[in-house]
Structure 1
Amino acid sequence: MSSLFTPLAIRGNEMRNRLWVSPMCQYSAVDGVPNDWHHVHLAQFAAGGAGLVVAEATAVSPEGRISPEDVGLWNDAQLEAWRPVVAAIRARGAVAGVQLGHAGRKASTTSPLTGGRGTVAPADGGWQTVAPSAVAYDRFAEPVALDAEGIEKVVRDFAEAARRAVAAGFEVLELHAAHGYLLHQFLSPLTNLRDDAYGGSFENRVRLLVRVTEAVRAAAPDAAVFVRFSATDAAEGGWDVADTVAAARLVADAGADLIDVSSGGLVPHQRITTGPGYQVEYAATVRRETGLLVSAVGMIDDPALAENVVADGRADAVMSGREWLRDPHFGLRAAAALGADVPWPAQYTRAAR
């Protein structure tokens, strides 16, 4: 019996297995609207055996995009464009998820597909970025600190995007509070220098994330809500694993169902040593300390490693990214390697024998 290929139900949404597709930006949209590329890109993973396919970081507002080429869910044209993509995922047996995010001070940047790395000026199709404090990331443009009205807009934008996501058919909504984007920027004392109700103490710095989680839960009562954290900033004086454990409890009370545990991305001077499964122990700590459902990420590209992470109780599921890009049928290959009896698409059954 394979632990990795046992189902997992969350709020009535049953994932057929625990090998999932991480959200991966494609930088291929126009005006936030997904297109044929996104359709084929995401549907192939469902055909390849994934239990859950999570669409890339999807902006809750135009100014929340990482780049001008990011997808969004801030208007109904985007909602309608997502419908057939979601239907294709579900028709192939996987649960469809989307990661809702706001890039904050790391927004309005050049797409890596163009080979650049920097801020896109307003004259070139970019925009003024926002953040908890007017502190720039690396060589990016300085953001404007959000005022009270701006913070309220962020909460509303996440809720409205959640409503649109559910209307498009998404069953899992992940809130992106990791990798140095806006919600993470509020969490960390390295980027949050505020002296109001959203800065200073841990309770204040986590306030926006808790409010967003509550708003998304209210907007999408039947959806499974995940929160992705960077468990550590990997920089002196930054957010750490103990903070993540404490925040995980708070977002669970606010309506989150699962904690997706990653790391880093906040500051350029982070120090992280990578390797197969290098972030798994962060997930294991959150699971052990809180009793919450967690997913683990980080170079989990070997079926045996993925199986062990779940079988050993270090995480309830694993998410992989690059391995699915290398092999969109990673799920079927992993099942065969682990001797798991799973249904194959009828068109591919000759390869199952």
Structure 2
Amino acid sequence: MASLTLDKVRKAFGPVEVLKEINLAIDDGEFLVLVGPSGCGKSTLLNLIAGLETATDGEIRIGDRVINDVHPKDRNIAMVFQSYALYPNMTVRKNITFGLEIRGVSNQERDKAVADVAKLLQIEPLLDRKPSQLSGGQRQRVAMGRALVRDPDIFLFDEPLSNLDAKLRVDMRTEIKKLHQRLGSTIVYVTHDQIEAMTLASRIAVMKDGILQQFDTPQNIYERPNNMFVAGFIGSPSMNFIDATLSEENGKLAITIPRNGNPIVLPLFEAPESYRGYIGKDVVFGIRPEALTHKRTGSDEPGSQYVNFDSKVEVIEPTGADTMTVIEIAGKEIVARVRPDRQPKPGESMTFSADMSQISLFDPDTELRI
């Protein structure tokens, strides 16, 4: 295994620049997930690492070795594709060992390698079947087995679960996580699914329009997003954004949200120094649905960072474990996460609690976190 470094990497197709000075450094054994909407450049970046595309500028290193001009077959990288890319006329065993055979690996070594991988992936009963006789999840395991037998420095996964149904996707996600924990492999994984990114990654690189928006741990990206795009893209349901003003009274800061002559005032119990430059100015108030819920027990007690306010319920969406409750504030639909036993009825007024320790404020012009 090895570390991976991308230093000011750019990629242009003619006049169109699809990657703009990407800087990433992941350590040996890390699980990096590249995430973003379609067309953000994440698959292009994966192809540059694999050698399927050539960087316009910048440097790509595996360990201490610059690989910009190294042929794909000499980079010691294994890739798992979205389409599985299995040979339909070969058995599972042959699919897994074909690359080893081409490189002249002995029969004895090939047999040991396939036995080890088949045991690891629990596909031993499938070795004599052909791909047409396998389910989608089994085919994906075989594709992973073919990558594993190479013992590469880095594994590249290009949206490997997008062709699977929802339940199988969850199961395979768990299997990939277990595999990484067993092997300690260096993995770069591309997905547009932010739940996959959050559950699998050691660190996440969030991309948009060829620009790296944030590179951090899943928890930091979730709790301290750099900008409104990251805040809205990561999390399901996504973060609520409400137009507000930052006010000050008796030395205490508060978020003031206009509402038909009866504004909602949400005091800030703790505020970073950066907020003070926005006193009296418009801000975008961000709060995740789980930080906005039914009135919490003890929310009126001293020391609590929950602030209560009343609002009419527009729509409820039961999900089993929670009820997503839609309310309207300042002309925007806001989602709160409510316990099923506290579930309101549409049209009713209800007291909600906002956890002010879990908020984000953004500059409305730059959309950057304040």
Q: TM-score range by the shorter chain?
A: 0.3 to 0.5
TM-score, normalised with respect to structure 2: 0.32
Q: Which has the higher helix share?
A: 1
More strand by share: 2
Asked which structure has the greater CA Rg, the reply is 2
Q: If the length of structure 1 is used for normalisation, what is the TM-score?
A: 0.33
